[in-house]
Amino acid sequence: MIVPMKKVSVVVETHNKGDMLKSLRKSGVIHIFTDNTRSPKGEELQKDSDNVLLIKSAIEEFAPKKAKDAPAQKEITRSDLSKLQKRLLRLYSQRKDLRESIVKDSLLIDQIKGWGDFEPKAINKLSDEGVDLHFYLLGKKEILNIPEDVKFIEMEPVDKQNAIAVIGNPLDSSFPARQFEIPEMGVVALRDRVEQNRVKEEEINSKFKDALCYISAYDTEIERLEMDINFEKVSSQMNSDENLCYVTGYIPVTKFDKFEKTAKKNCWGYLAEDPSEEDLPPTLVQYKKGVGIIKPLFDILGTVPGYREGDISEWFLMFFTLFFAMIIGDAGYGLIFLLAGLGMQKKSKELTTGNILIYVLSIATIIWGSLTGTWFGSEAIVANTFLKNLVVPAIANYPALFDMDASAAQDNIMQFCFILGTIQLSLAEVINITRKVRKKDISLLADIGWLMDILSLYFVVLNLVIQKPCDYGVVFPIIGVGFVLVVLFGSQKAGEPFSNGLKAGLGGFFTTFLDTISCFSNIMSYIRLFAVGLATLAIAQSFNAMAAPMLGGATTIVGILILIVGHGLNLAMGLLSVIVHGVRLNLLEFSGQVGMEWSGIEYTPFSETVKE
C-alpha cells in the first residue's frame, strides 16, 4: 500500500537553524524537496566532492583484477585523508602535465625522426651567419609550382606530407604551404625527455597505488560530502528572517511518532496537516509479505507510483512472473536461471530479495516449460524421458507426440494469451470501481462501461484471430451500452453538476470512440506472449539443428560450442524480450487501464548516512 503522509512545517529561532537541521537529519524521517538553489558553500562542497570522486577513480585504476589480491583497508582520520587528497590532487595535475608532454614529444619524434639527429641550435647558428632556413609542409603538386627564384631542399616527409627547407626569404603567405616550426630539441634529446617523464609518471602512479588501502575511507568521504551538500541545499532554501525560520517536508504517518518525540525533546514548534490536492507528496510503498521481491525490478526500471495512484505491486508481480515464464518459455532456460540464482546467493552469502525474485521467475519458467514440453528446444528430450508425462497436450509445443493438431495447439495458446489480457484489463477496471465506490464517485459507472467493453471485445478478438464463433447481435449492443456509459459518466467530477460532466463527455465523444478501438488493440497486444515465446523456441531449434550433425567424432567440440553460444544468445534475447514485452504489458496496457502514470517521487528522507 501507499503509506499516507503528513505535511509538516518545523519552526525554530533563526540562531537554532543549524542544530534543528542536524537533529532532523539524525531522526531521518522527513522528506524535504530541494530545488537548484545555489550557495557559495554548496558550490565549494560540490567541487570537493567532484575532486574526491576524481582521485578515487584514479586510485582504482591500479586495483588488482581479483578482489582477494586487494590490500587490506586502513583507517585514517578525516584530517589526514584531507591532506592525502590534496597531495594526490596535486600529483594528479602533475601527472596530467607529464602525460601531455609525453604525447606531444612522442608526436614530434615521429614527425622529425626521418631527418636524423640534428641539433635545432645549429639552425639558429646558421641564421646568425646569414643563412635563414624556413620549413614547410605541402603536397607534390605545390612543390612543382614553387617559384624558380626560390631555393629549397626536399626533406623526409612529415606526417605523410612532403617537407622542404626554403633557403633565404620565406615563401609568400599566399602560397599553399603550411609552415613547420622546428622543435626546441633534437630526436635524441626528445627521447631522453620522454623517458624521464615516464619515470616521473611511474613514481606518481606508485603513490596512487599505495593509496588503494584507503578506498573505503574515500567511499565514506564521498557519502559524507553528499550528506553535507544535501544539508547545505536544505539550509540555503529555508524560509527565515532575523527571528524565526522554518522548513517544510513530508513524514509517513508510520514514522510520525518518532518525529514528535524529537520535536518535543528539542522544543520545536511545528504544524502537521494532511497534504492538500495541490501538494505532491513523495511515495513510500509498504509491500505486503512476499510482494516486496518485485522492488528490485521497480528500482531497475526507475518506476514509482504517484502518491494518489495506488499500489498494484502484487498484481504486477503475479502477471510479470507469468509473462516472464511464457516469453522465456523453456524449462531448460529456467533451470539455468535457477542455478545462476543459487550461485549468486552462495557468492553473496545471503538471501536477498533479488535472489528470491530470480527463484520465483525461474521456477515459473520451469513449470511453464514443463507444461508445454520445452527443454532446450529439443523434442527428443521430452519424447524419450518422463518429462513427457508433465506436458499438457492441448498447449504442447510438440503436439505430434500426443497426436494433436499443431494449429489447434497454437490456437489454444493464443486463446490463453487473450484470456490473460482480458483478465488483467478487467482487473484494472475492478480496481478502479472498488476505489471509486469508497469515494462514492459516480464516474465508476464509466468504469463499468469499460469493463463491459473489455469482456465483449474479447469475443471479437477470438473471432477475428482464431475464428471462434461470436454472436455479434449480442456483443455489439453490449459494447454500445458500455460506450454510452463512458460518454455519460467518464467526465463526471465530485462536486460539479452532472450537466457539466455530460457536456465534457459529449465533447470527447470521438476520443472515447478511439479509446474503445484502443481497448480492442490492447487485448490483441497480448498475442505477443505467444509470438515471442514461439520465436525463442524456433531459435533454439535452429541452433540444435546446426549442432546435431557435428555431435560426434572430431567435430564434437565445435557442435558443443554452437550449442553453448546459440542458447546463450537466445537466453540474452529472451531477457531483452521480457523487458520490451513483459514489462510493457504491465506498465502500459494494465497501468494505463488503471489510470496510473507512475509519476511518483520516491520517499527519500533527509537523513544521516554517515555518523558524525
Please spell the DSSP secondary structure of 421-442, one letter per residue.
HHHHHHHHHHHHHHHHHHHT-T
Which residue reads 518525529 in cell numbers? 259
Q: How many CA atoms lie within 13 A of 309 on its CB side?
A: 25
Cα dihedral sign for 455, 457, 459, 465? negative
Residue-level pLDDT at 34: 84
Task: Residue count of the chain, please give it.
Answer: 612
Residue-level pLDDT at 351: 87
- Which amino acid belongs to residue 444? L
pLDDT digits (tens, 9 = 90+) for 231-259: 999 988 888 777 889 999 999 999 999 99
Residue-level pLDDT at 121: 75
pLDDT digits (tens, 9 = 90+) for 125-180: 777 777 888 888 888 888 888 888 888 888 888 877 888 888 888 888 888 888 88
Among residues 64, 84, 350, 345, the alpha carbon closest in space to that of 211 is found at 84
Distance CA 398, CA 402 (A): 8
The domain spans of the chain are 1-34+237-284, 36-107+191-236, 119-185, 292-594
Q: Is 92 exposed, middle or buried (0-12, 13-18, 19+ CB in 10 A)?
A: middle
Residue-level pLDDT at 496: 78
3-class SS of residue 396: coil
Residue-level pLDDT at 331: 93
pLDDT digits (tens, 9 = 90+) for 77-119: 999 999 999 999 999 999 999 999 999 999 888 888 777 777 7
Cα dihedral sign for 64, 70, 73, 74? negative
Compute how many other C-beta atoms are within 10 angstroms of the C-beta atom of residue 568: 12
Cell representation of residue 195 = 623517458
Which residue reads 583484477 in cell numbers? 65
Low-confidence ranges of the chain (pLDDT < 50): none
The backbone torsions φ and ψ at residue 244, rounded to the nearest 5 degrees and listed phi first, read -125, 155
Q: What dihedral angle (degrees, nearest 10) is formed by the CA atoms of 334, 340, 345, 348?
A: -150
Q: How many CA atoms lie within 13 A of 579 on its CB side?
A: 9
* DSSP code at position 274: -
Residues with Cβ within 8 Å of residue 262, at least 6 apart in sequence: 23, 24, 27, 268
- Which amino acid belongs to residue 269? G
SS (H, E, C) 203-270: HHHHHHHHHHHHHHHHHHHHHHHHHHHHHHHHHHCCEECCCEEEEEEEEEHHHHHHHHHHHHHHCCEE
- 136, 177 Cβ separation under 8 angstroms: yes
Q: Please give the C-alpha separations between residue 94 and each of 274, 497, 582, in angstroms, as whole numbers.
A: 57, 75, 52
Residue-level pLDDT at 243: 85
Maximum distance among all Cα pairs of the chain, rounded to whole angstroms: 111
Q: Please give the C-alpha separations between residue 127 and each of 131, 156, 201, 512, in angstroms, as whole numbers.
A: 5, 22, 37, 89
Residue-level pLDDT at 612: 66
Please spell the DSSP secondary structure of 67-103, one letter per residue.
GGGSPPP----HHHHHHHHHHHHHHHHHHHHHHHHHH
Q: Which CATH class is domain 1-34+237-284?
A: alpha beta
Distance CA 262, CA 23 (A): 8
Q: Please give the C-alpha separations between residue 436 and each of 404, 491, 592, in angstroms, as whole numbers.
A: 47, 14, 17
Residue-level pLDDT at 284: 93
